[in-house]
Amino acid sequence: MKVPRDVFFVFLFHCGKWKSLTLAAGFNDLFFVRMETGEQEEYLIRFERDLMAGKDICCLTGEVKTFPKVLCRPFRMSYVGLIVCEKGSFCFDVDKKNFTARAGETVFLSEGNDFCIGELSDDLRVSMLFYHVDPIREILGSSIVAMYLYTTLTPEPCYVWTSGEESDLARYIALLGRHRKSAQNPFDNHECKLLLLALTYRLCSIYSRRIIEEKNVAGHKIDTFIKLIRLIEKYYMQERGVAFYADKLCLSPKYLSALSKSVCGYTVQELVFRAIIRKSIFWLKNTNKSVQEISDDLNFPNASFFGTFFKKQTGLAPSHYRISAEE
């Protein structure tokens, strides 16, 4: 019996031989297809429809020359986003900060930001994937969850990198796109989860490698930092003192803060504060919670204390931030 190539692909990955097959000769033909204008329009419409419906996986693959209209105005990201620029270039804003992606670069987007496409080159070719992490969170390893959480605390709203793995990332996107178009059967959903799981591991591997390369950080420090991030995500709404986290890790507060600073540029206290601000901004932008309710949920003594803290971190009072986000 002849096994379909995409099924065989996942089987080999499961057996730990993912890379040997993704680099197999002749595999490009499976992924990169030339699309007529009408077919491209159909892809764009489907992608936009999936985005607006909040689908867990939204793919755009092939020789795509432009972006859906919904992304040409500020779009609130509830997704992890991945855009591989295969040819040409495009400009975009994330939280009103300007970026440019060129051929051979990948855009890595985190949740909770406003994303908007700007100018495009005439020769643009991109592959794009937006996906929710929640459907695969229960099968993610704890280290991967921590690395994912780290990306939500980083100083940049997104990254534009030449990872050296653009071809592989585009192939992941193409495979997920093929499954999105296929008829549903009992195995489709699970296979998509495995593909997303593999892709998420690959992305976190890229992030981890960049941290080690850019910060010149030893591997054991990365392990400790990942444990710290997991603790912060679990306790930041109740515990804000460095001593609490240092005690959990059996380290001195001074050493732990120095380690954190060497890995990501932030002390432990700053990471905790960023986690609090991240959650506050999410509630202000996406819920009708009052400032008092947010203050209570984050265990501040009162709304005034929370307001002072928020303004010191963001430059705006919570109520003013909510108004500016709606404009």
- Which is more confident, 150 or 86? 86
What pLDDT is stored for residue 14 in this prediction?
37
197: confidence class by pLDDT, cuts 50, 70, 90: confident
> Phi/psi of residue 159, each to 5°?
-130, 145
Dump pLDDT digits (tens) for 281-318: 888 887 889 999 999 999 999 999 999 999 998 888 99
Q: Is the pLDDT of residue 134 over 80?
A: no
Across 40-44, 227-231, 266-270, 293-297, least confident range: 40-44
CATH of domain 219-326: 1.10.10.60
Q: What is the pLDDT of residue 196?
A: 83
Reported as a pLDDT band with limits 50, 70 and 90, residue 254 is very high
**Are 102 and 121 contacting, i.e. CB atoms less than 8 angstroms apart?**
no
DSSP track, 188-255: HHHHHHHHHHHHHHHHHHHHHHHHHHHHT--HHHHHHHHHHHHHHHHHTTT---HHHHHHHTTS-HHH
What value does the mean pLDDT take over residues 20-41?
A: 46
CA distance 2 to 135: 31
Transcribe 118-178 into DSSP letters: EEE-TT-EEEEEEE-SHHHHTTS-HHHHHHHHHHHHSSSSEEEE--S-HHHHHHHHHHHHH
pLDDT score at 90: 95
- Write out the H or E segment, with its range, that includes residue 61: strand 57-64
Q: pLDDT class for 201, splitting at 50, 70, 90?
A: confident
Would you kindly state where each structural domain of the chain is located, as residue ranges? 5-215, 219-326
**Element containing residue 266 per DSSP (H, E):** none
Residue 25 or 325, more confident:
325
Band (pLDDT 50/70/90 cuts) for residue 60 is confident
Per cent of the chain over pLDDT 70 is: 74
Q: Which amino acid is at 274?
A: R
Average pLDDT, the chain: 78
Mean pLDDT of 38-66: 80
For residues 153 and 274, the answer to whether their CB atoms sit within 8 Å is: yes
Residue (of 89, 97, 99, 92) closest to 116 by Cα position = 92
pLDDT surpassing 60 at residue 31? no
Q: Is the pLDDT of residue 91 over 90?
A: yes
User: CB–CB of 66/120 below 8 Å?
Assistant: yes
If one compares 142 and 103, the residue with the highest pLDDT of the two is 103
Query: Does 136 have pLDDT greater than 90?
Result: no
Query: 22 pLDDT exceeds 50?
Result: no
Q: How many residues does the chain have?
A: 327
Find the helix or strand (DSSP H, E) in which 37 lies.
helix 37-53
User: Pick from 258, 129, 275, 261: which is nearest to 202 by CA?
Assistant: 129
Q: Are 182 and 59 in contact (CB under 8 A)?
A: no
pLDDT in tens, 138-193: 565 555 555 555 555 555 678 888 888 899 998 888 888 876 555 466 677 778 87
For residue 21, what pLDDT band results from cuts at 50, 70 and 90?
A: very low
pLDDT for 58 equals 86
| Cα–Cα distance, 162 to 107 (Å, whole number) | 9
Residue 303 phi, psi dihedral angles, 5° rounding: -65, -35
Name the phi and psi angles at 186, rounded to 5.
Answer: -60, -20
Share of the chain above pLDDT 90, in %: 27
Give the residue-averaged pLDDT of 198-216: 73
Determine the average pLDDT of the residues in 111-122: 88
Long-range contacts for 149-152 (Cβ within 8 Å, ≥24 apart)? Answer: 149/229, 149/230, 149/232, 149/233, 150/207, 150/225, 150/226, 150/229, 150/264, 151/108, 151/110, 151/207, 152/110, 152/111, 152/112, 152/278
pLDDT value of residue 304? 94
**DSSP codes of every residue in 167-206:** HHHHHHHHHHHHHHHSPP-TTHHHHHHHHHHHHHHHHHHH
Specify the pLDDT at position 215.
56
